[in-house]
Structure formats: structure tokens, C-alpha cells
Structure 1
């Protein structure tokens, strides 16, 4: 081959490789955008929206108020007067809960000032770019009256990365978000078979993949917040965890998701869903033990843990109970429980099964039957074990 032909061949080969690389990069970008799009709650304000089905989070907020108030007061005593307070809600989603939480924080801060010389408040509402921020913006007029020194900003992006400038943040808050992982665990593949999350019957490989992904993600979260936060800054975090170190204990930590997995498995047996589609569907969600959380905080090193508590949040946080004045209604309780789950899982479920003929409404109808039966047998609403942390940024 003469020199001219070799040059032409090299040029075309390089051009082909460059184009191929661009195509791969574009596919990776589209895949990342797809993941970002489906990792969100149901938007809007209709009957299936997260805004109208977030009683779990509201219940959890009511249980963490004492730690929230104590942490803010301790921070202000240590730090003294601050001209501008930067506060971030990490994983704010949409709906009224976000502004209720921020109102509580500002109310506590104002109670610490004896005069009317309040600091300015910069409130950052953080969630993924696909979050329904418009729903939040519509609520701001009711939030702003009487708060002339309060400024609210949307902060789209993953909290598993940097969000704010270094040494600028005073207070961070997150409720029912850190059980979500940044992605499906690496190396999981289809090893978890027909389980959509970690359950007692999951193989050891699946346990290890989920635990490693959680360790990476939570360490990254702490590192990023540590870089953004001023010395002695504080965070209050609440998320779903598990009581026992052993994943295979009798504790049904993944109860609601386990029942959804069983519903989908039944539909595979009936030929309504392919086994391959089910085996490739895994939730990017992990429920850590207290020991795991403590170990990661100590190893990462940016924060000291001031407090760590635990409490229970019922599946049906609307409050249907079995007491002297009310007959326990398993159907009502099961329906409420499923609506809460649907609000956060429907976008992901719909996207994964988008190329099938499966009817999402039918899936949730079947799922509701399983949950109602489970609650009826137990004669009570099971609960989510919730971990509550108060962290202090080291000097």
C-alpha cells in the first residue's frame, strides 16, 4: 500500500472511531438523562401525585421536630450572629411538605432572636432536574408573606455531587431521601432474580452490591456536604433504615417493595410480563443499619454525629388505627399505603415496562390486593424503621 492510501485509510479510520465515540457518548448521555427523568416522584397535584400522597414524609417530619429544633439552637449558640443563613433541603421533591419544613426551620431561628433584627435567609430547594419545581413555585406566594428577608432558590442536581460553593452552607436538612441510591448497584445485573430490591431471599451477591453502592453514595454525600459547609455547620437527616445488621433477619424491612415484587412475579407466571423484564428491574434503594451509618460517618471524617435516634412510620401514615373508636379497615389502610408507594415508584416502573403491553393501573390494582391481604392478616399497619441523625461539621 502506497503512502497516499495509508494516509487516507488512517484518516477514515480515525474519523470512524471519532464518530463511534461520539455515538457512544450520546447514548451514555441519553441513558443518564433517562435515569434522571425516571428517578422522580409523580408530579402535579392530582389524586396520584406525590404532593397529595406524601403523608409518610409528613409523619416523619412530625417525629423529628425535637431534634431539628435542638440542632438549630445548638448551632446558633456555637456560631453566634450570622448576617445571612444558607439552608438547603436535600431531596425536596414537590408538594407542601417542603415549605412546611422550611417554615419550621425559620420559625425556630427567629425564636432565637430577641429583637426584630433577623438575619437574611437563603433557602435552596434541591432535587433532580426532573423534579416538579413548578408545583413548588406555585406555593411560594403563600410561603413568602411576612418573610421579606427570606429568598428561595431552586437547586437542581444530584446531592451525590457538589451543589454549593465551598464553605458557604450553614444548615442542611433531608427527610426520606437518603435511602435512594445514585444508581442501580454496579455489578448487580440480573443476580437478584425476581426481587426488585433486597429481601431475605436475595443472593449474597445482591446484598454485597447494594451495600457497596450505599457506602460509595453516602460517603460521597458526606464529603460534598463537608466541602460546602462552614465549620460547626449542622445537618438533620431522616431516612428509612433497618433494625438489624443481618439482612436475613425476620424483620420485613422491604415489606411494601417485596409485595410489589411478588405482584410482578405473579404476573410473570400468568404470561403478562416477561421474566427477563422483571429480572432486570431493580430499585436503586437501600435501607442501612445504624452500624453501617455510624461506620461510614466515622470513616469519611467530615462530620461528628451529635445524635442518632430511630422511630417507626406506619405504611398507612394517614392514621387508620385499630382503637376503641374506630374499626380497623384493612382495605382503606392498604389503599392508602399503595398510593404512597405509587407516588414515588410509578415513573420508574412505567419507564422500565414502557415497551410492554402491561397496564400500570392493573399492576397497582393487583398490588393493592396483596397489600390489603398482608395488612388484614397482621391486623395492623406495618411500619418503616426510620433513622434520625444530627451531624456537626468538624473544624
Structure 2
């Protein structure tokens, strides 16, 4: 339900439309000024246009920089929290991963079991911390809807679509080591700080932490083609769009670790491999895990 729908319903039943306070959160490095300059004015205009009879109740928007793996808001002040495609990012790379993963940059079929376990344990710690912090900030009866990039089943943590895109990137980096473009030591010390949980793993952590009750838990799938159709030009192939998306997500990490001067070369090679694989591999899909919870 949109804010404009809430206002319309309250007007229809003869009630004063509520005021809304919306807090946006991201890490300190996010450019909040660009959001307020480029996006907020249009958002406010659209709300006014959608509100029935031109009656508009104030909607206040603020930015709260900081990691959500810590407290962000005053106690008992929030009524609803929404997080989309964020909670799969873990707070740090575990030491076991740094020591044992070597040529892999993520959970791969060649990764030792200790690496998979270390990723999972870090996710458990971080997700539990997130739930505990939000439980202090949200009012009793308040709700959260959380969507993360995940996987279907509890087993085979390294065999889903998300892992595939990182295995292709690892292949590119290995090629560049062989060509002398990047140092092997740098490849061995680079890992992607993401864990894609299964529905069962999400459910277990919510129940274990104990502050929230689960209302609904589901998985959904989206193919690369469907994902790209909404945002790309009509003549852009799927593999090229996916390459651009992976670059947008990973370039800050790659640039800091390997240097910005090799980014174009990395993603030229990445696009070439995806193009080649797109004619051989079955359709690749991303899996979303969505959970709706209520504060006890």
C-alpha cells in the first residue's frame, strides 16, 4: 500500500490523514545530497498529484548514515522498517576465508567447507545483530519486511545464480594474473562480503533471536532477462546488462583492492565470458527470500 492510498482511505472514512516520517539509511559514504536534490522533489510532487482532492499531509524525509549492524534510531520510535537487497552484505570477511579461499573470491565449488561455514557463521552473527538493534528501535507491534538475495535450499550454498556471477569474475581475475595485469597476492586476498541465505536459515535466526514473530516467509525467482527488461534499452542483450549490473555492485570493492586503472579491462573480459556462457548455460535466475515479521 502506497502513502497516497493511506491518505485516500483515511479521507474516505472521515479521518485526518496521518503525517509520515521516513528515514533513509545507508553507509556514511553514500551521497545523500544527490538523493535530496535529484529524487526527493519529484517524489513529493508525485505524492501531491496522487492524493485525492489535493489534500496533502506532510511527509518528512531524513537521512541516517551508518551501518545497520548497529543502533541507528532512538528506542521505540519506528513503526515500519523495509530493507531490500541489503542484508546479504556481511560486515566483514572472516579470517578463515582470507586464509583458505585463495583463487576463489566467493563461495565456490572449489572452496573448502571451512570457507562455506565461515561465511554462514558471519551471516548468523550479523543478521542476529540487525534483528536485536531493530528490536530496540521499533515499537511493540511494529513490522519489518526484509528482502535479501538468497537461495532456494538449505544445501549447496555455492550452486545458485548469485554464486555463478562471482565465479565468472574469479575466472577473469585469474586470467589477468596470468597476463601479469594484477598481482596474484592481491587475488588471493580478495573476497566478496556477501552471503545468500536460504529461507530456513532466515527463519532459524529470526526465531533464535526471539524479538520478532514471522508473519510470512517466501522465495521468489527472477531471471536475468526479466530483471534486465525493466531497466535496459530494448536492443541491449541480457549478458551485457548483467555485466553492467555486476560492475555497479562490485567496482568500488575491486577498485579499492586492485586499482581503478584495470576496471575497464576486467569488465570487458567479464562481458566476453558472459556472452560465451549465455549460449551454453541454462537460464540463470536470482532467488529472493522475503520475510515479514512483527515485533513481539
Q: Same fold (TM over 0.5)?
A: yes
Distance 1:108 1:228 in 2: 26
User: 1:1-395 maps to which residues of 2 (within 5 A)?
Assistant: 69=1, 104=2, 106-113=3-10, 114=12, 115=14, 117-138=16-37, 139-145=39-45, 146=48, 147-247=56-156, 250-316=159-225, 317-319=227-229, 332-354=237-259, 359-378=262-281, 380=283, 382-394=284-296
Deviation at 1:129, TM superposition (A): 0.8
Give the direction of change, closer, same or farther, for the CA distance of 1:259–1:301 in structure 2 (3 Å limit): same
Aligned pair in 2 of structure 1 residues 179, 152: CA closer, same or farther (>3 Å)?
A: same
Distance 1:121 1:225 in 2: 19
The separation in 2 between residues aligned to 1:249 and 1:173, in whole angstroms, is: 27
How far 1:287 sits from its partner (Å)? 0.5
Given that residues 235 and 390 in structure 1 are in contact (C-alpha distance below 8 angstroms), is that contact kept between their aligned partners in structure 2?
yes
Where 2:98 maps in the other structure, the secondary structure is coil
Confirm or deny: 8 A CA contact 1:201 1:248 kept in the other structure.
no
Runs of 5+ consecutive residues of structure 2 not aligned to the other structure: 49-55
2-side partners of 1:108 and 1:204: how far apart? Answer: 49
1:196/1:283 contact within 8 Å kept: yes
Farther-moved stretch of structure 1 (147-156 vs 165-174): 147-156
Relative distance call for 1:311 and 1:292 in structure 2 (3 A) is same
- Structure 1 gap segments, 5+ residues each: 1-68, 70-103, 321-327
Q: CA contact under 8 A between 1:127 and 1:157: conserved in structure 2?
A: yes
Moved more, 367-376 or 214-223: 367-376
Q: For residue 230 of structure 1, report the CA deviation from its aligned partner.
A: 0.5
Change (3 A) 1:253 1:247: farther
* Cα distance in 1 between the residues matched to 2:94 and 2:248: 23
Question: CA 1:248 to 1:125, structure 2 compared with 1: closer, same or farther past 3 Å?
Answer: closer
Q: What do residues 86-140 of structure 1 show as CA deviations (whole Å, max 9, x unaligned)?
A: xxxxxxxxxxxxxxxxxx3x13433442336111100000000101212211221
Question: TM-score scaled by structure 1?
Answer: 0.67
The superposition leaves residues 185-244 of structure 1 with CA deviations (integer Å, 9 ceiling, x where unpaired) of 244223111111112221111111111110000000000011101011001111111112
**Which structure has the larger Rg over C-alpha atoms?**
1
**1:166, 1:227 within 8 Å by CA — same for their partners in 2?**
yes
CA RMSD between the two structures: 2.0
Give the number of aligned pairs.
280
Deviations 1:218-276 (A, max 9, x none): 00000001110101100111111111222367544411111111111121122222211
